Amino acid sequence: MSALAPGSVIGILGGGQLGRMLAMAAAELGFDVHIYTPETDSPASRVAAHTTVAEYDDEAALAAFARSVAVVTTEFENVPATTAEILVFNADAVIHPNPEALAIAQDRLEEKRFFNGCGIATVPFAPVDSRADLDAALVQIGAPAILKTRRLGYDGKGQARIASLADADAAYSALAGQPLILEGFCRFEREVSLVAARSVHSELAPYDLVENIHADGILVRTLAPALVDARVQQEAVALASRVGGALGYAGVFAIEFFLMPDGALIANEMAPRVHNSGHWTQDACIASQFEQHIRAIAEWPLASPGRLCDAEMINLIGDQVNAWAALAAEPNSKLHLYGKNEIRPGRKMGHVTRLKR
């Protein structure tokens, strides 16, 4: 595939807020977007030129979708890897990220093994497929630890803390029936993440490392840049380059790290997509993560990831979005709302970026 000309159609699997912001960025570069989602009246579909509403295993609908677009991308990592495989192998579609990257990111155990295979440190971990496995893993790793589902967990869902061995029964009962992983606890100083774009020609354009603050497993605040030594930024970029190269990746991806007191980085997880901790780039960078992703998958040159000013991004979760009027009136702030029809506790409804001039 050569560079896509303006007017080409980009396909996006998924209709949530990330798809919405990708579609808006694509439109600014002159592309049309075709959204594929099982959801009717999705946030992304309302800003896209075309939408197909169908299940992710509908081979006929996927084939028709593939014929209508020049390239396909995903807005969240839990689009079934089999969907990507159908598009690639049955419909001869060009898709970024590739099915391998999706499959690895969808399974916490495979993700940890992938990091270790790249020479990247993680917390100790062990697969748990039975109650006996959990006992053995706790002997190996100890407590405190966290028991997690291997698949589909996000924003603090699908996990249970084990503060001591006495918590093992309750933790296992809460999550039993699913493939699990036990992860050791590390006494980190801060949680940080690196968002980077990688082109099909292996060019890497990393943004500044940022600091993330979570509550109840949900990202609530991102500070850009993270106040770290230059060597920590350099190490994060080197690790991201290693991950992108090992996956043959094209597009934007993020790696979340634990920053240890000695400055070491411990990889927590990766996201093969634009990322919540990169939303600040919309307002504080030369080119946003969304524009960079479109550029990468369209085989355009990557733009500069340079930061124009410091920034703070605040997620609007649940009914916090009802403060939209006050937030819209704040000087040096940019409000982004996702067009979701229903406010629910724990649901990301928008974000505000406060620019530090």
Residues comprising the chain, all counted = 357
Preceding peptide of 38 cis, ω within 30°:
no
Please state, in angstroms and rounded to a whole number, the distance separating the CA atoms of residues 80 and 70: 20
pLDDT at 152: 74
Residue % of the chain over a pLDDT of 90: 87
Residues 6+ apart with CB under 8 A from 264: 121
Q: Give me the sign of the Cα torsion angle 220, 224, 229, 231.
A: positive
Core vs surface per residue 309-334: b (16+ CB within 10 A) or e: eebbbbbbbeebbeeeeebeeeeebb
Q: How many CB atoms lie within 10 A of CB 165?
A: 13
- Please give the domain boundaries of the chain with CATH numbers for all domains: 9-95 (3.40.50.20), 124-184 (3.30.1490.20), 190-356 (3.30.470.20)
Reported in sequence order, the residue ranges of the chain that DSSP labels E, i.e. its strands, are 9-13, 32-37, 50-53, 71-74, 125-128, 145-149, 159-162, 180-184, 190-198, 204-206, 210-215, 218-224, 251-259, 265-271, 310-317, 333-337, 348-356
Calculate the CA dihedral of residues 46, 52, 54, 57 and round it to 10 degrees. Answer: -120
Reported pTM:
0.94
Tell the residue number behind the tokens 């940080």, with chain if given.
192
pLDDT at 153: 65
Q: Which tens digit of pLDDT belongs to each residue from 177-191?
A: 889 999 999 999 999
DSSP-derived pairing of the beta strands 71-74 and 218-224: unpaired
Using 50, 70 and 90 to split pLDDT, how confident is the model at 2?
confident
Helices (DSSP H) in the chain: which residue ranges?
17-28, 59-67, 81-85, 99-105, 108-117, 131-141, 168-175, 230-247, 281-284, 289-297, 324-328
The phi, psi pair for 57, rounded to 5°, reads: -110, 15
pLDDT at 357: 75
Mean pLDDT value across residues 100-127 = 95
Arithmetic mean of pLDDT over the chain: 94
Q: Identity (one letter) of the amino acid at 21?
A: M
Partner residues linked to 184 by β-bridges:
145
Please state, in angstroms and rounded to a whole number, the distance separating the CA atoms of residues 286 and 303: 8
Please state, in angstroms and rounded to a whole number, the distance separating the CA atoms of residues 111 and 113: 5
Q: Which tens digit of pLDDT belongs to each residue from 117-154?
A: 999 999 999 999 999 999 999 999 999 999 999 987 66
